[in-house]
Amino acid sequence: MANNNNSKGNEEVLKKLTIQEFSEGGDLMFNPLKKKVSHGGSSSSSSSKGKAVVMMMEETQVAASVMKKVIKLKSLDGCTFEVEEDVMLQSSETIKHMIEEGCAKDEIPLHNVTGYVLGKVIDYCKKHYNKMSSDEEEEVKNWNAEFIDVDQPTLYDLIMAADYLSVKGLVDLAAQKVADMIKGKNVDEIHEMFNIQSDFSPEEEEIIRKENTWSFD
């Protein structure tokens, strides 16, 4: 009976050690019922193992924080944005080249983009960062439609910013928006829509219209 009681007592001790090890980030695969106590060193071994696991977790967290390096982007009107470096490396060829050339030590100045537009470009890049799953396609498609539903001045600024920063996906999205806007409209309507002033005199326009009647139908 005494041996049975001692055995049960040892199991209870091991269970407690397992719970303590688990709470400190220990090995989830550790099973006290599959390991035997030898030479009375179980408590010391478990404690050392728990400390080692905690140290490994801390090192992993440090490595993760290094991987998620943050860069600063500064717009022409002085607005500063902090964004994960990997997001911009994946999204913007311009930012990628600046980083590779060592231009991102403190902050990257973007003299051709306002703070409002830069904020929207960054939102786009974050949304599309590592979006490879087919399950996310519909959600991202709906997000794109809402994102690009802006007034014409903002759309123009987004096109210019996306082209300057070489964000190909945003360039394509904005270009498709313009294509949808002008679909089914004639030249005069397009000129009026975008406030385009003709470089030709009325006489020259008339000649061009006669020579290219097919394009004015």
Q: Compute the distance between CA of residue 164 and CA of residue 159 in angstroms, rounded to an integer.
A: 9
Report pLDDT for 137.
86
Q: Compute the distance between CA of residue 107 and CA of residue 75 in angstroms, rounded to an integer.
A: 10
Question: Which helix (H) or strand (E) is 4 found in, with range?
Answer: helix 2-23
Report pLDDT for 91.
93
Enumerate the domain spans of the chain. 2-66, 68-183
pTM of the full structure: 0.60
Which pLDDT band holds residue 50 (cuts at 50, 70, 90)? Answer: low
Q: Which of 73, 181, 166 is nearest to 118 (CA)?
A: 73
120-164, pLDDT tens digit by residue? 999 999 999 987 667 788 899 999 999 999 999 999 999 999 999
Cβ-in-10-Å burial (0-12, 13-18, 19+) of 47 comes to: middle
- Write down the architecture of domain 68-183 according to CATH: 2-Layer Sandwich (3.30)
Q: Compute the distance between CA of residue 120 and CA of residue 133 in angstroms, rounded to an integer.
A: 23
Answer yes or no: is pLDDT of 57 > 50.
yes
Report pLDDT for 23.
46
Q: Which two tokens stand for residue 71?
A: 């860069």
58-69, pLDDT tens digit by residue? 665 555 445 578
Distances 128 to 9, 131, 139, 179 between C-alpha atoms, Å: 56, 5, 11, 22
Report pLDDT for 53.
59
Q: Are 71 and 99 in contact (CB under 8 A)?
A: yes
Report pLDDT for 190.
76
Q: Which long-range contacts (CB under 8 A, 24 or more apart) does 190-193 make?
A: 193/152
Answer yes or no: is pLDDT of 28 > 90.
no
Percent of the chain with pLDDT over 90: 41
* Average per-residue pLDDT for the chain: 76
Q: Compute the distance between CA of residue 97 and CA of residue 164 in angstroms, rounded to an integer.
A: 12
